[in-house]
Amino acid sequence: MTHEDIILSINNLAISFKSFSGRVRALRGVTIDVVRGKTIAIVGESGSGKSVTVKTIMRILSKNEKIESGSIVFNNKRDNEIVPIDLLKLSNKHMQREIKGKKIAMIFQDPMTSLDPTMKIGKQILEAIFAHKKIKLKAAVEQVHQLLETVGIKNIKAVMNAYPYQLSGGMRQRIVIAIAISCEPDLLICDEPTTALDVTIQSKILDLIKKIQKARNLSVIFITHDLGVVSRIADQVYVMYAGKIVEYGTCNDIFYDPRHPYTWGLLESTPDMAYLQERLASIPGTPKRMIGDVKGDQFAERNRYALNIDFRMEPPFFKVNDHHFAATWLLHPKAPQIRIPESLRKRIDLMKEENRNG
Amino acid sequence: MEVIHMIRYIGKRTILSLITLFIILFILFLMLNFMPGSPFNDTKMSHEQLKILYHEYGLDRPLAERFLIYVKQMLTGNLGVSYSLQTNATVTNMISHTLPISVQIGLQASVVGSLIGIVLGFVAALRKNSFFDSMATGISILGVSVPSFVLALCFSYIFSYKYNLFPLLYSSSEAFRSTILPTLSLCFFTLASIARYSRSEMIEVMEKDYIRLADAKGITRFQLVCRHIIRNAMIPIITVLAPLTVDLMAGSLVIEKAFSIPGMGSLYINAIQANDYNVVIGISFIYSLMFIGTMFFVDLLYGLIDPRIRIAKRGK
Ligand SMILES: Nc1ncnc2c1ncn2[C@@H]1O[C@H](COP(=O)(O)OP(=O)(O)OP(=O)(O)O)[C@@H](O)[C@H]1O
Ligand SMILES: [Mg+2]
């Protein structure tokens, strides 16, 4: 992939939190490339470090957070020229004035708590516009109308005059989306934007994000732990576990040819993929907190297929094809031939079949 | 539309307040009735003389009757007469002479206390874990734990006795200067509690999702603090203002004594000691009125700043 294609590249990002029980190593060398105009999904169980990753991009840092190493390079497009900026090196002021809201915007998980309860909706959207645009109030109000129309709100006047608590969760998430796209950002970060919503509304919001992404040629980072959602929205998938990417590839790679046992576990535990009336398998155990120095593959303890070496050394990335990589010793030429679990195999075959027919 | 609902709401609250006051009055009457002693504690008086006095003031009548007479009089603005402190002076008169200075000191203390408290708390929150923050915390702990009369003593010793900056006791020739030390001693508790409370409220608000979102819009830190953080932190702070004002009223009794201020607090204490029923009831009534009034005012203020409450009220 050429340099120009990539809008954001996170390189070897390591982050830790100071805590009473020691240093919590939340990210341990995360590398992610976001291709311009495409959607990448980051999936993984709770606590794997998805939010920490994107919050660091947006510089929403906790007091006890420390960036150990790495860079986040944003390839800013200005007059057809690409200017790479390391976001970690920018001053707060610069970040606030030039990046946040203007180049990179974010949609948060819980729409019920993401809007200021004491401010009218219209004003909250206007504030986002005025943060980066020097225009007259009338023109700005006109833009608010257009934005609200874009996100599918009908009674625009009433909504502008409403306070957040007067709107439903779905409506509020539409407002949050309107705020996010108000200054035409290049990159949109969505941290589980539908998790807090009803299933029916989830799918509507998802469609909306997809529509906006297409219409504006946005690049999107989409965080979720729902693989069903991923298959609907993403071009590329990064599977994250314990502060590391363990497998990444295109949607097809991850869904039809998963290689990492953790990805297998995730796929097996996804209800959307339960075409057969089997009981859902779930990954045994829970992710452990990484405090102090860690050794070996963090997933080893929960991994049915763990090899001896997994407990001693972290696996590097092995190449499956040009765009598909997985960090598991199972891909080592000398590793025993372990096949994907039979039930998952069957499911994938069914899916392929269905795709061919539908 | 909004105005009509507002008026209706105020009307409803007023009626409720009146009922509350009526009940308070009745309880006061009951309590004083069962209190030992009498307003006429002169040991030289004979039993016969006492009986005549009791009859003269109608104190020999049954409780219910006395209560009704009192309420009837009160509605015409007559709070009865003093029995013993200033025999036959009207209570209304006594209160109107002592109330202004008490209100002045009380208002000064609550304004100074809450303003400085809020600013102190907010700045401490914005500079969490800094030297300023530790200092503010120190002041808060001191202010909450040291009783106001101890402060009053310290202040008078330092500022009046040693450096002679303010009068030691109240003097009407230097009326305003005389109120400064009492105000300071009185406001310290309020200041300290508000500072502590504002700091924690502000820190809590700063962690909220909507602050993150507002920040993600790319607005400046100053805008974030003014438009979002302070406004949201103010809502809970306003609710604690009311009880704190009440604490202030209680504190004023002691402070007025300490500085010999001829205010309502001093009068109240004297009246209680002398069993001067009408004065006690009159002043208690005024205190209740101020208390209920404060709560009412704070409630309205609360509605103004928090749309959820404003609209909920309109809906009902
Ligand atoms: N402020 C903090 N202090 C200490 N540890 C933290 C802090 N914030 C996050 N962590 C730790 O970092 C790890 C990753 O957290 P993160 O919020 O990124 O998870 P996530 O993948 O977004 O999970 P979820 O799906 O629940 O949102 C967790 O183990 C968490 O305990
Ligand atoms: Mg998260």
| pLDDT tens-digit map of A160-180 | 999 999 999 999 999 999 999
Strands A22-35, A236-241: pairing kind: unpaired
Grade residue A280 by pLDDT with cuts at 50, 70 and 90. Answer: low
Q: Provide the residue type at B156 as one letter.
A: S
Q: Do B212 and A116 touch (CB under 8 A)?
A: no
Sheet holding A81-86, edge to edge: A22-35, A6-19, A65-78, A81-86
Q: Is A300 inside any structural domain?
A: no
DSSP letter (8 states) at residue B28: H
- Confidence band for A357, pLDDT divided at 50, 70 and 90: confident
Decide which of A184, A205, A239 is a domain's last residue.
A184
pLDDT of residue A331: 79
Last residue of a domain, one of A152, A184, A216: A184
Mean pLDDT over residues A136-140, rounded?
Answer: 96
Q: Are residues A166 and A235 in the same domain?
A: no
Of A8, A34, A7, which Cα lies nearest the Cα of A248?
A: A34
Whether the pLDDT of residue A344 is over 90: the answer is: no
pLDDT at A345 over 80: yes
Three-point CA angle B78, B84, B86, nearest 5°: 65
- How far is residue B251's CA from residue B192's CA, in Å, rounded to a whole number? 14
Q: Is residue A299 situated within a structural domain?
A: no
Closest CA to ligand 1's atom 14: A49
- Cα–Cα distances in Å, from A303 out to A245, A246, A316? 16, 13, 17
> What is the DSSP pairing of strand A236-241 with strand A39-43?
parallel
Whether residue A215 sits in one domain with residue A71: yes
* Secondary structure (DSSP) of A36-86: TT-EEEEE--TTSSHHHHHHHHTT---TTEEEEEEEEEEEEEETTEEEEEE
Verdict on whether the full-model pTM lies above 0.80: yes
Number of CB atoms found within 10 A of residue A121's CB: 27
pLDDT of residue B316: 36
Domain boundary among A184, A208, A229: A184
Same domain, A173 and A93: no
Cβ distance A166 to B219 less than 8 Å, yes or no, reads: no
Domain extent, residue A356, equals: 1-103+187-281+315-358
Domain assignment present for residue A261? The answer is: yes
A180, A212: one domain:
no
Q: Same domain for A124 and A16?
A: no
Q: Give the pLDDT of residue A4.
A: 55
pLDDT of residue B216: 95
The highest-confidence range among A285-289, A307-311, A346-350, B215-219, by mean pLDDT, is B215-219
Percentage of chain A modeled with pLDDT above 90 = 63
Residues A179 and A152 in one domain: yes
CATH number at residue A61: 3.40.50.300
State which of A52, A60, A240 you would mutate to test the pocket of ligand 1, scoring each by most atoms of that ligand within 8 A of its C-beta.
Answer: A52
In a domain, A38, yes or no: yes
The domain limits of chain B are 1-38+277-316, 91-273
Query: Percent of chain B beyond pLDDT 70?
Result: 94
A32-41, A71-80, B239-248: range with highest mean pLDDT = A32-41
| Residues A303-307, mean pLDDT to the nearest whole number | 75
pLDDT of residue B175: 79
Please state whether A91 falls in left (phi above 0), alpha (psi between -120 and 50) or beta: beta
What SS3 state is found at A3? helix
Query: Which of the listed ranges A311-325, A340-354, B299-313 does the model predict with the highest average pLDDT?
Result: A311-325
- Highest mean pLDDT, choosing among A125-139, A312-326, B128-142, B255-269: A125-139
Kindly tell me if the per-residue pLDDT of B6 is higher than 80: no
> Ligand 1: residues within 6 Å at CB?
A 17, 19, 24, 26, 44, 46-52, 62, 64, 225, 289
Residue A32 has pLDDT above 70, yes or no: yes
Q: What is the pLDDT of residue A276?
A: 46
In a domain, A297, yes or no: no
- A48 CA from centroid of ligand 1 (Å): 7
Of A1-15, A29-43, A290-304, B8-22, which has the strongest mean pLDDT? Answer: A29-43
**Residue A100 and residue B76: Cα distance in Å, rounded?**
66
In whole numbers, what is the pLDDT of chain B averaged over residues? 85
Q: A330 and A238 in one domain?
A: yes
| Band (A314; pLDDT cuts 50, 70, 90) | confident
Query: In this predicted structure, what is the pLDDT of residue A220?
Result: 97
The runs of H, that is alpha helices, within chain B are 2-34, 47-56, 63-75, 91-126, 131-145, 148-155, 175-206, 209-216, 221-223, 230-258, 264-273, 277-305, 307-315
Instruction: For chain A, list the strands marked E by DSSP.
Output: 6-19, 22-35, 39-43, 65-78, 81-86, 104-107, 187-191, 219-224, 236-241, 244-250, 318-321, 324-326
Q: Which residues of B touch A127 (CB under 8 A)?
A: 214, 217, 219, 223, 227
Is A142 in the same domain as A10?
A: no
Whether A287 maps to a domain, the answer reads no
Question: How many domains is chain A partitioned into structurally?
Answer: 2
Contact check, Cβ <8 Å, B308/A110 = no
Angle of helix B2-34 relative to helix B63-75, nearest 10 degrees?
Answer: 140
Cα gap B299→B280, rounded to integer Å = 28
* ipTM (interface pTM): 0.87
| Contact: B227, A119; criterion CB under 8 Å | yes
Mean pLDDT of A125-139: 96
Q: Are residues A191 and A118 in the same domain?
A: no
Beta-bridge partner residues of A293: none
Reply yes or no on whether the pLDDT at B285 is more than 80. Answer: yes
Angstrom distance (rounded) from CA A163 to CA B309: 11
Q: Indicate the pLDDT class of residue A253, thresholds 50, 70 and 90.
A: very high
**Does A343 share its domain with A215?**
yes
Chosen from A90, A91, A96, A190 to mutate, greatest number of chain B CBs within 10 A: A96
List residues bridging with A248 in a β-sheet: A238, A325
Residue B312 has pLDDT above 80, yes or no: no
Q: Which residue has the tokens 């208690």?
A: B284
The Cα diameter of chain B in Å comes to 86
Phi, psi of A354 (to 5 degrees): -60, -45
A chain contacts of residue B213, beta-carbon cutoff 8 Å:
106, 108, 114-116, 176, 179
Has residue A305 been placed in a domain?
no
- The amino acid present at A318, given as its one-letter code, is F
Given 1.25.40.10, 1.10.3720.10, 3.40.50.170, 3.40.140.10, which CATH number is that of B91-273? 1.10.3720.10
For A69-125, the pLDDT digits (tens) are 999 999 998 888 889 999 999 999 999 999 999 999 999 989 999 999 999 999 999
In a domain, A19, yes or no: yes
Task: Verify that A342 and A257 share a domain, yes or no.
Answer: yes
Q: What is the pLDDT of residue A127?
A: 97
Residue A212 confidence (pLDDT) above 60: yes
Q: What is the reported pLDDT for B307?
A: 67
Crossing angle of helices B230-258 and B175-206, rounded to 10°: 150
**A123 plus A30 within the same structural domain:** no
Q: Are B242 and B294 in contact (CB under 8 A)?
A: yes
Interface test with B, best of A64, A103, A108, A116 (most B CBs within 10 A): A116
Whether the Cβ atoms of residue B238 and residue A118 lie closer than 8 Å to each other: no
Nearest to A101 among B211, B218, B235 (CB): B218
